[in-house]
Amino acid sequence: MRPRLAPLSRQRYALQPTVDQETYDLLRQAQALLGHQLNSSDIAQVLTRALRLLVRHLERRKFAATDRPRRRGRSSLNPRHIPAAVKRAVRERDQDQCTFRSDSGRRCPARTRLEFDHIEPVACGGQATVEGMRLRCRAHNQYGAGCTFGAGFMDRKRQQVREAAAAAKRKQAAEEVIPYLRALGFRADESRAAAAPCEATPDASLEQRAKLALTYFADRHCTRWRPATVAALPT
């Protein structure tokens, strides 16, 4: 069933999503914990509480939002570091919207995937001040960088991002297997060595990668692993 969000009347909406078991269990747990504070059978109230906490958390991470700002933040030697006070001021000034304007003066309506952008690029001496920063959606942020540094520069940057993401995925493919090998009784060093070949198969299932790692010990005639411990393997 496709999720549905439809207006019913003024400021009232019908929400009909399909959730997995984890989401269902979390919802039931939240209802139980809130039972003494509100009508826990009213799922809308539970969702409102949860979304308020989520939005507050995301605003703290992205915009350094807080009810108790520090008078003076920590200094940083990183020229790309943006002080929390600057983030808050830029966000308030730009009103959670991309500041790019077309030749006709129309402002970009985007309010998602917003990024802090140096008006003067850092490579050209730009600084993270309120006057030197703005909000841009990712598309217009990259468009601006392309205009400044050229299409070739942006192509190389995108390639670097793709390569970094692929490397992280390969590393994770190996690291996910290590806990299962440790549960089978293998030492940390030999578990890492056994899991290393899994980096070459990041798209394989966890079970397939665990079996691949076990061949490391079979090739070395290792007798420490026994079939009785197969329950420790992922399924």
Each residue's pLDDT tens digit, 173-188: 999 999 999 999 999 9
Average of per-residue pLDDT across 124-140 = 94
pTM of the predicted protein model: 0.62
Consecutive H or E run containing 91? helix 84-94
Average pLDDT estimate for 209-232: 68
Residue 153 has pLDDT above 90, yes or no: no
Between CA 182 and CA 85 the distance in angstroms is 45
Q: How far apart are CA 170 and CA 168, in angstroms?
A: 5
Residue 191 has pLDDT above 90, yes or no: yes
HSE of 164 in the Cβ direction (CA atoms, 13 Å)? Answer: 6
Predicted pLDDT at 123: 84
Query: Confidence class of residue 156 from pLDDT cuts 50, 70 and 90?
Result: confident
pLDDT of res. 109: 97
Average per-residue pLDDT in the chain? Answer: 88
Q: How far apart are CA 64 and CA 86, in angstroms?
A: 9
The string of pLDDT tens digits covering residues 1-57 is 677 888 888 889 998 889 899 999 999 999 888 887 777 678 888 999 999 999 999
For the stretch 77-91, pLDDT in tens is 888 899 999 999 999
Question: Does pLDDT of 231 surpass 70?
Answer: no
- Position 227 scores a pLDDT of 45
Say how far apart CA 28 and CA 22 lie, in whole Å: 10
Q: What is the pLDDT of residue 233?
A: 58
Give me the residue spans of the domains in the chain.
Answer: 4-63, 84-149, 164-232
pLDDT value for 73: 61
- Write out the two tokens for 92: 């308030």
pLDDT at 163: 94
Residues of the chain above pLDDT 70, percent:
90
Q: List, as own/partner pairs, every contact residues 167-171 make where C-beta atoms lie below 8 angstroms and the sequence separation is at least 24, other chains included.
A: 169/202, 170/199, 170/200, 170/202, 171/199
Q: Tally the C-alpha atoms within 13 A of residue 45's C-alpha that lie toward its C-beta.
A: 11
pLDDT of residue 37: 77
Distance, in Å, from the CA atom of 182 to the CA atom of 232, rounded to the nearest integer, reads: 9
